[in-house]
Structure 1
Amino acid sequence: MGNEKRQLTPLTYELPDPSQFLALDSEEETLDAQLLVQGFEAFNQATQKLQDYYRGIEQKVDELNSELARKNRELEQNLLEKDRVKSHLNNIFESSALGIVVIDLQGEILSVNQKALRLLDKMAEEVRGLRLNEVLGERVLPLKLTPEFMQSLQQGQEQEMTLRGGAGLSRQLRLHLSLMKSDQNEWLGLIVNIQDITDLRKLEEEAERKNRFTGMGQMAASIAHEIRNPLGSIELFTSLLRKEVQSDSSQQLVHHISSAVQSMNHIISNLLEYTKPRPVARDVIDLHKFLRENLSFFEQLVEYNDVEMRSDFLATNTKIRGEAELLKQVFHNILINAIQAMVEEGEIRLTTRNVLTDNRKMLERFTHVPLSQRRHGMSLLQVSIEDTGTGMSQEVRKRIFDPFFSTKERGTGLGLAIVHNIIESHGAIIDVESEVDQGTCFTLLFPVAHDDEEIPVDEPTSTLPKERVHY
């Protein structure tokens, strides 16, 4: 009908003047005239009633139109509010610091937020409609979501897993499974919250390592000094004995004694290197120039062992602060271990790149960097040394930086422990990823040196384990 009002045109008729009927000839004609007048009056009355009804209907239509317009406005407002709420909830969903995966009752992925996609290193189109087990590469859900399994999730359920990536890299993930229900408390599916706890686990490993060896370094240093004194006497008497004996067999025995003393002295020197506190220089080093100069020393060694070495210098900010001689020791140890890990031929790839991080757990690991420099994130120079050697088990990987732990028959177990302490004293961090028969990747992260940065006062940086809690 629309909102336009239709005007009612009166349907009344003008009644004739009764006096004009007086001239009628007969009484019968007069009666007919009166009836006609009465008919006109009845018609006019009926017309008036219809007009009144029409006005009433028109008023009702106006009221209904007003009500309909009000309802339309309310509906539009509700739709706008629902869109706003939907947009708000979607922003929360996408901005969550946790990865969120929504799964239906058939176990298939309905939706996944951006954080989860980054953790899984996938695109939304790649995972939607797949089962979670397929995406994670590990069985975290049963093949069928039975009522018994769903019932077990009433209070939620947590589990941890390792997500394998390329180049031997992996992430430690914590999954929290909870039910998704309707307003009528009916099961609609599952919500899986995914948290990357890789850095947290590394912090825990470092804290455990430091706590495990608190005081051990002091004790070892004390024992080393006590052993070194009689070793000096043995070496002195051995040199005197070498002058006294004449036979070749006796000279050979003396040589064995001297070699054993030198081997023990080398072990003690490494032990003291590990335990003694010493200041670290804050020289500005161009790491690309440093690496090119020092990698040349390994050319003959890698050729002799039929190993190919490749380098990809991708970083643009290449300056760090540190002591070149100590850093030589770091790269020498890591590269020697990589070469020795090759059974026959193999490849070592050294890569540098710049990375920015504002990850709180990652920043907490740079304990030697002033808080002012890591409060709002850090610019880092990453060096990765990856080999195609035999790799190592997770049990071995967790212990390779422990002093006196070695998988080599004649190893002292101090080489990588010293490397770890040198890196730590430079305000840097070192990680390792490895799998058996898949090779090993050492990753070093150095703070980039800036001209206007705050340089800490040089104090002896103890290499002894520290009682520091990171979390």
Structure 2
Amino acid sequence: MTKSAPNITAEKDPALAAKHLEEAFAIFYAESQKLETQQAALQEKINQLSSELQKSNQRLGILLNAIPAGVILLENNIVLLHNPAVLQFLPSLSTGNHFELPHDWQASIAPGEYLIGNAEDRNSPQKMVQVIRIDEGIRSFVQIQDITANIALHQETQRENRLTAMGKMAAGIAHQFRTPLATALLYSSHLCDDEVQPEMAKEFALRLRKQLLDLEKLSQDMLRFISNRPTKTVLSSAKQLIDEAQ
């Protein structure tokens, strides 16, 4: 009976083990090359995004500096960033400090509008500013804008509209003045007549007084409109309205 040759496995074969090791190293090297390529591409993308972010920040800085309104960026109500324009409203504002509006700013009737400045200081006239705050999580955006000129323009426009309306009203009311005025002149001419009886003279005088009162009422209505004062509600009887219309 002959003995069989010993079975040599791959694990005990140095050449086969070296081949497997070489293949594993080749795979590792290929994967390493892929990772290096991906890392280089990722780094290039990061550099590109960083460059774009830097350019965007520069453009944002230029834009903020060009905005005439004051702009403040807050985080947890701490000043992170502000443009130079805001210093005309808040000279002591600085980054890193807690933000709050000055206590001497007088709140207006309109929400978010404040009257600032000292009325007695001619070198620093009073201004009306509008404060807009937008909260987004822990960050807030605050805009402070001088609206003094806008309010003055609005008031001037309202004044011109009132004057235009007053002109139209004056043209219409002239016709209402003409009738009682002509009637009053007629009654006054009768009173100057020596042949008028005392009873008729008294009647003419009463009618003349009524016409003059109507003219006075028209004048008061016109003055009330010009001064823009609210009209008062007055209860009147139907008989009184009929008598005034006659």
Q: Which one has more relative contact order, counting CA pairs under 8 Å at least 6 apart? A: 1
Q: Which has the higher helix share?
A: 2
User: What's the TM-score, normalizing by structure 2?
Assistant: 0.49
